[in-house]
Amino acid sequence: MQKYSVAVAGASGNAGGELLRLIALHPQLELKTVTGSSQVGEKVSSLHPGIAKYAEMVFSPTDAASLEGHDIVFLALPHAKSAEVAAWLTDETLVLDCGADFRLESAEDWQKFYGGEHAGTWAYGMPELLLAGGEKQRANLVGQRRIAVPGCNVTAITLGLAPALAEDLVETDDIVSVLTVGTSGAGRGATEKLYEKEPTGSANAYQVGGIHRHTPEIEQNLSKSAKQQISISFTPVLASLERGILSVNTAKLKSNVQLADLENAFTKHYGSETFVKLLPSGSSPSTADTIGENYALISLAVDQHAGRLVAICAIDNLMKGTAGAAIQSMNLALGLPEDLGLTDTEIKR
C-alpha cells in the first residue's frame, strides 16, 4: 500500500489539529512535519493532547525548508498567508488550502471582502457541489494538485439549498440563511467578544449586514447550481458551543411547489452521496449528531403560511466544514476511495 508523506502548515490551530486527528486515522498518510508560529519547538501534545500518535512531534517554523519534499501539504493558515506559502511548493506537490485565498473566482469580490491582491483560483474542494447540467464538482478534483477547501458556513448553506435551486423550485432573489456557529468556527475576535459578555450560555450575531467574507463564496456556489445569479442574506450567530454549525436556510417557493417536490429533488441529487444525508420527513438535524464526523445532515419543511422552503443543515465545522472536506478532496485527487479514512472518525465522549 502506497504511503504519502504529509506536512501540515498551521497545525497549532483548530483546523490544523483536526487535520492531525484525521491523518492519524488514514491508512495511506504518513505525517512528517507540523509547523506553527509561536509554538516552534513545542510538542504537539502541548496543544493537541488527544492525538497520541503524534504527541512527541515538535512544531517547526512555517518556512520553505520545513515544507519542501512532501507529497501532500495542508495549509491551515490565516487568510492571505496561504498564497505566500503555496508559492514555495513544487507543482508536483498536492496542496490543499483550508483558508480563503484561492476559493473565489472574482478578483473584484476578493478585493471587496478581503482586500489586497487576488491570488488566483484553485479547484474547489466540495465534491457534492451541483453544477450546471446536473454534474458535480468531484469530477473536477481528480488528478488536481491545487485544491481550495470551502468555508465551513459556505458548506452548510450550499448543501442545504443547492438541489432546490438546481431543480428551479425556489426563487433566486429571496434567500435567507441564519447560522448558529460554534466557537471553533467563528474566529478568535468574535469568540472573545462572546465571552467578554457572558462566559457560558450566550449567543450573539456577528459580521451582520452582508459583510461576512463567506457571502461571495456562497453566491458563487449557488449561482452555479441555479444556472443564474442568486443573492443571499446571510447572518451567522455565535453560540457558546465548541463545534458545529446549524444552518437554517429559507427561500421563497415557486408556484405550486410542494414538500414532496423538494424531497424528490434532494433525493435525486444526494441519494447516492456518502456524506450528505436527507433525514426523514418531520425530523430535524442536530449539531450533536455530527461531532467528529464528515456528514452533512439535512431536513426539509415547507412554511405554508409564508410560502417558503425551510432547509436545515447541520455539520461539524471542523470536519465536513474543513478538515474532513480536505481529506475527502485529497482522496479524489489521488485516485483513492473518496471515503478512505473518513468513515470511523467519531470523537468518543
229 and 195 co-located in one domain? yes
Active site residue 152: yes
**Is residue 343 in a domain?**
no
pLDDT on residue 186:
57
Q: Let me know whether 293 and 205 are in one domain.
A: yes
Closest CA to 182 of 171, 170, 194, 172: 194
Indicate if 166 and 289 belong to the same structural domain: yes
Is there a domain that residue 160 lies in?
yes
- Same domain flag for 95 and 42: yes
pLDDT at 300: 98
Structural domain includes residue 349? no
Grid coordinates representing 135 are 454534474
Q: What is the CATH number of the domain that holds 130?
A: 3.40.50.720
Q: Are residues 134 and 176 in the same domain?
A: no
Chain centre distance of CA 82: 16
Q: State the maximum Cα–Cα separation within the chain, in Å, rounded to a whole number.
A: 63
Residue 47 lies in a domain: yes
Q: Which three cell numbers stand for residue 48?
A: 493537541
Catalytic residue among 152, 262, 315, 327: 152
* φ, ψ for residue 270, nearest 5 deg: -115, -5
pLDDT of residue 190: 47
Residues 272, 160 share a domain: yes
My answer on whether 165 and 311 are in the same domain is: yes
Q: How many domains does the chain have?
A: 2
Residues 92 and 112 in one domain: yes
Looking at residue 184, its pLDDT comes to 79
Q: What is the dihedral of CA 165, 170, 176, 182, to 10 degrees?
A: -50
Please indicate, yes or no, whether residues 176 and 125 belong to a single structural domain of this protein: no
Residue 51 domain flag: yes
Nearest to 147 by CA among 80, 214, 78, 101: 101
Q: What is the pLDDT of residue 35?
A: 96
On whether the CB atoms of residues 74 and 19 are closer than 8 A, the answer is yes
The answer to whether position 348 is within a domain reads: no
Indicate which CATH number applies to the domain containing 259: 3.30.360.10
pLDDT by residue for the chain (349 residues), tens only, comes to 899 999 999 999 999 999 999 999 999 999 999 999 878 889 999 999 999 999 999 999 999 999 999 999 999 999 889 999 999 999 999 999 999 999 999 999 999 999 989 999 999 999 999 998 889 999 999 999 999 999 999 999 999 999 999 999 999 999 999 999 998 765 544 454 555 555 567 888 988 898 899 999 999 999 999 999 999 999 999 998 889 999 999 999 999 999 999 999 999 999 999 999 999 999 999 999 999 999 999 999 999 999 999 999 999 999 999 999 999 999 999 999 999 999 988 776 5
Do 188 and 157 share a structural domain?
Answer: yes
Position 210 in a domain: yes
pLDDT on residue 6: 98
> How high is the pLDDT of residue 346?
78
> Within 13 Å of residue 141, how many CA atoms lie on the same side as its CB?
29
Indicate whether 65 belongs to any domain.
Answer: yes
Residue 239 phi, psi (nearest 5): -120, 160
* CB proximity list for 288: less than 8 A, separation 6 or greater: 244
Q: Domain containing 273: what range?
A: 153-317
In the chain the first and final C-alpha atoms are separated, in Å, by 32
SS3 7: strand
Say if residue 74 is in the same domain as residue 158.
Answer: no
Q: Kindly state whether residues 73 and 198 are assigned to the same domain.
A: no
pTM for the full predicted model: 0.94
User: What residues contact residue 289 under an 8 Å CB cut-off, 6+ apart?
Assistant: 297, 314
> Among 48, 40, 118, which residue's Cα sits nearest to residue 79?
118
Between the alpha carbon of residue 213 and those of residues 102, 115, 291, the distances in Å are: 13, 11, 25
